Amino acid sequence: MGMLDSVCNQFGKWVTSGAVRVLDPGSGQTVQEQGNSPVSAYFPTLTAKQIAEHMHHCLTAGTPQIYLIHAETRLLLLMEVSYTTSNGSQLLQALVDGTDTVFWDTPEADAGVCVLSEWNRLRRQTITDDLTGLYNRRYIDDRLPVDIQNCVKQQKPLSIVFADLDYYKKINDIYGHAAGDAVLNELAGILLSHIRKGNDWVARYGGEEFLILLNECENERAKNSAEALRVAVMKHIFMYHNSEIHITCSFGVITIDDFSVPHPVDKVLDTVDKRLYQAKQLGRNVVI
């Protein structure tokens, strides 16, 4: 408990409104936790793989990683640091409720609004892909576990569509990387135009791969949506410096509608990735 006690002492008076926990990347389990129980409920749900990735971020940056979480009417500060003990490397998370200190406790009437506005701006930066303006991989890591949990809790189906642009390397080789970037940016707009705003979301998973989450969507409708996207991309003419570029996309689809069993994020992503791979194997420009 030495590490936790040290962190709590550093927080001083804030520790009464915060929580600290230690996560093990090997098991994916919480090794130790102490602090305010209501606040600890806002700790993000992380898989063993995600814990390892967060530790890697800390080590790469060389400094603790700090996030702001807007939970209902609360403004929370999450600090993460990777450290090594005799039991190996682990991830320490400290979650502090700074609402009264940072957000509302201010003499200016509009200062709270300004703080929240700035928080929203910073939050958008951390979860937005620079090229396409879509959500990024960090958003997927943060949001997907929450949506899956809500799906099971509410017993409403959730579908995930994995999209991959076919023969993307050829675009870069023939037209140049700037053209490839332009195609990805325009493709992002097509994907966005085919989702229900406020209910679904699209994120760039990495490279030319995109993840589309469809809340309260059964499998048949998800496949129909993916098919509509496939046709829309195939028929679209991408223009770059007076050159017409024609592309296609392959799609993998999975639906969570069995609420009696757990659905680990890693397994869900692995399954939909395999279906995308099957689409590629069948000649591309296919929905599986």
pTM over 0.85: no
In this predicted structure, the answer to whether residue 8 has a pLDDT above a threshold of 50 is no
| Alpha-carbon span 102 to 115, nearest angstrom | 8
Do 54 and 83 contact (CB within 8 A), yes or no?
no
CA distances from residue 226 to 75, 76, 145, 211, 231 in whole angstroms, order as listed: 37, 37, 22, 11, 9
Q: How confident is the model at residue 62 (pLDDT cuts 50, 70, 90)?
A: confident
Torsion over CA: 216, 221, 222, 228 (sign): negative
* Set 108, 208, 209, 218: catalytic member: 208
CA distances from residue 217 to 15, 96, 221 in whole angstroms, order as listed: 42, 36, 6
| Alpha-carbon span 271 to 288, nearest angstrom | 11
Q: Which of 240, 258, 268, 14 is nearest to 155 (CA)?
A: 258
Which has more pLDDT, 107 or 83? 83
* pLDDT at residue 40, rounded to an integer: 81
Using CB atoms within 10 A of its CB, is residue 158 exposed (0-12), middle (13-18) or buried (19+)?
Answer: buried
In this predicted structure, the answer to whether residue 150 has a pLDDT above a threshold of 80 is yes
Active site residue 186: no
* pLDDT at residue 104, rounded to an integer: 41
* pLDDT, averaged across the chain: 84
Identify the H or E element spanning 244: strand 243-245
Dihedral angle over CA of 274, 202, 28, 76, nearest 10: 180
In this predicted structure, the answer to whether residue 262 has a pLDDT above a threshold of 90 is no
* pLDDT at residue 165, rounded to an integer: 96
In this predicted structure, the answer to whether residue 127 has a pLDDT above a threshold of 50 is yes
Helix %, strand %, coil % of the chain (to 5): 45, 25, 25
Percent with pLDDT over 90 in the chain:
50
* pLDDT at residue 197, rounded to an integer: 86
Using CB atoms within 10 A of its CB, is residue 235 exposed (0-12), middle (13-18) or buried (19+)?
Answer: exposed
Q: Which of 4-18, 127-141, 207-221 has the lowest mean pLDDT?
A: 4-18
In this predicted structure, the answer to whether residue 208 has a pLDDT above a threshold of 90 is yes
* pLDDT at residue 116, rounded to an integer: 53
Rounded to an integer, the average pLDDT of 4-24 is: 61
